[in-house]
Structure formats: C-alpha cells, structure tokens
Amino acid sequence: MNTDSDFRNRHVLVIGGAGFIGSHIVDYLINHGAAVDVYDNLSTGNLANLEHVRDQFRLIKGDILETAKLTKAMSGIDLVCHLAANADVRGGIDNTYIDLQQNVVGTHSVLEAMKNQGVGEIVFSSSATVYGEPAIFPTPENTELIQTSVYGASKLAGEAYIQAYCEYFGMRSYIFRFVSWIGERYSHGVVYDFVKKLQQNPQELEILGDGKQRKSYLYVADGVEGIFHAVASSDSPKNVFNLGHLEDMTVVALADIVVDEMGLDKVAYHFAGGARGWLGDSPLVLLDTSKLNQSGWKPLVSLEEGIRRTVRYLLDHPEIMTR
C-alpha cells in the first residue's frame, strides 16, 4: 500500500501532463514531493497549464506512438499516470480509426514501454462511456459492459490490455472510470460549448439532444484527490474505480447555471435531436462511487459550484475560447 509520503521518493511520468486533468495531476504530485516528468505531444495539451510550475518538472515532447522515445522516457520511473487519449467522443463516427490508434494502440505502446523498463504501476483514465447505456443507476463497477461508441470500446480495450499486462508482468494498475470533469484549465466539453455559443449569440443557445439528458460531473480538484486516495488505500494488483459525483442534473439545468453565471437574461433554448445529443451519447450518466466512498473519499464541490467556477475561469481566460 502506498501513502502520500511515498511520493517524496518516487519518480512519476505523467503522459498527457499538459492537458486539463493531467496538469492538475502534475500539481498534486509536485506538491506531494514527487519528481515529475511530463510526456506530451502538445496536440491538445498546453504548456500554459504548467507555467506556474515550469521549473519543477521535466518536459519530454513526444507522442505515445513514438515507441523508442516513450521507452527512453520510462527509464527510472516508478509510476505512470496515463492521461493521453483522443477525447472526442463524437468524432468516432466520422473517423473510426483515431480511437483505435490513440487509445488502444497508444495504451499498448505505454504498457510495452513500462514492461521494457521495469515500471511497475500505472494510473489510467478510463471513462463512464464503457458502460454504454446501462440499466442500473447509479451504475456500479460490475455492470455488464455493452458498447455504444467507438470511444467507449477503445477505453474498455485499454482497460483489458492493462489488466492482462498486470497478470503477465506483475504490474499494479489503478483504472478510473470518469464522468465528465470540470474546473480550472477546462478546455472542451458541454460547459465550454455553451459559453462559446453564448458569447457568439447571447440571445439563443442550441442544445444537442432534448435537454432532458441527465449527467454527472466532477470538479477537477475532487477528482485528483479521489485518484490518489485510491492509490494510497488499495492493495490489489488490479483496481477499477468509478470516479464521479453523487449528484446529477439535466442538461437544461446546466444551461440555466451557465446563463446565470454569464449574467444573461431571456436566452431562448433550441434543441437539436431526440433523447441523446449524438450517436453514442448516453442520456443518463450517474456512477455508483460507493466503492471509493467507503474508503473515505467524497467530492467536496457541488455540481452547481463546479459549473460556476468553470464558467468564471473561461470568462477570465478568453484565450482558451480561441483554441
């Protein structure tokens, strides 16, 4: 079992460490004494996310499909946090290869590099999309996994490869099935889309789906605490955790909060689609987080407050809205 103090003697590689979630993981690790390397191709990540700690980590610019470079980057590493992925859930319907390459082949490349350098532990960002459209809510980790999107299928394949490598090569894994995360440095997703649309037209807002979809979100600081709480409290060689909020809300309710935080009035909502926003979208996402809750972790920031903080951050950082 690990403890927070272990990071003072640990060397951690954060793959995708310049991204939204990855940069917050870098912050946590630095604050807890780890030596940190960031491996990122900067295709969606941004070094501005790490400007405040620029002298406290080593940057390796590279893609996870560059196997020789990635293997070299693993030298001397104790723990890998693998956050790199194609994150466009909707895009899989137009490009059915990108999730295969970035999420499946890329994860295999990470595991091979770990094996070749003797790295023993991995934290992996999976997704609630692996559940497809489940029949049980809140959805527990042992729910049957029937896929409705190529993105979800690719994340599930990544989980499977990780578990197989744990079995073959004695690795330890911590797999986290995320809901959508929100908070500072957030650069894509529904809150981002709503803010951008409302900046372009403060009178009208297009909402994908019928607006009745119910989703759960998680404030980024709570999520990072959840990850490392699980790492510190888990003894099993193969761990799978749901990581989400106890609350959920409709997309219309989220839109109302965004509109209010932006100080707008009398915004007309227009809906595009039926019960879901796009093929592969899940109309209801609410994960059963009792497995992690029972070990002592719970989110501290409410959905509404997390959304408001996200909107304020986007308005205070207009450069993000042009990316």
Distance CA 297, CA 55 (A): 31
Q: Residue type for 167, please?
A: E
Among 223, 194, 180, which residue's Cα sits nearest to residue 315? 194
Distance CA 9, CA 106 (A): 28
**Sequence-ordered list of residues with C-beta below 8 angstroms from that of 323, at least 6 positions apart, any chain:** 46, 187
Which residue out of 39, 151, 186, 192 is catalytically annotated?
151
In this prediction, residue 1 carries a pLDDT of 38
User: Tokens at residue 79, please?
Assistant: 């723990």
Domains within the chain, CATH numbers bracketed? 4-181+217-243 (3.40.50.720), 183-215+247-285+300-318 (3.90.25.10)
The alpha carbon of residue 7 and the mean position of all alpha carbons in its chain are separated, in whole angstroms, by 22
What are the helix and strand counts (H, E) for the chain?
Answer: 10, 13
User: Tokens at residue 145, please?
Assistant: 């996994």
- Compute, in degrees rounded to 10, the torsion defined by CA atoms 130, 82, 3, 23: -110
> How far lies 182's CA from each of 188, 235, 236, 251, in Å?
9, 29, 29, 14
Do the beta carbons of residue 176 and residue 230 sit within 8 Å?
yes
The alpha carbon of residue 252 and the mean position of all alpha carbons in its chain are separated, in whole angstroms, by 23
Count of beta carbons in the 10 Å neighbourhood of residue 178: 21
In this prediction, residue 5 carries a pLDDT of 46
pLDDT tens for each residue of 179-204: 999 999 999 999 999 999 999 999 99
Single pTM value for the model: 0.95
pLDDT tens for each residue of 79-94: 999 999 987 776 667 8
Distance CA 117, CA 139 (A): 37
In this prediction, residue 2 carries a pLDDT of 43
State the residue for tokens 């029949």: 135
pLDDT mean by block of 10 residues, the chain; 323 residues? 64 98 98 97 95 97 97 98 86 84 97 98 97 96 95 97 98 98 95 97 96 96 97 95 97 98 97 78 93 95 98 95 78
Catalytic status, residue 165: no
Do the beta carbons of residue 14 and residue 26 sit within 8 Å?
yes
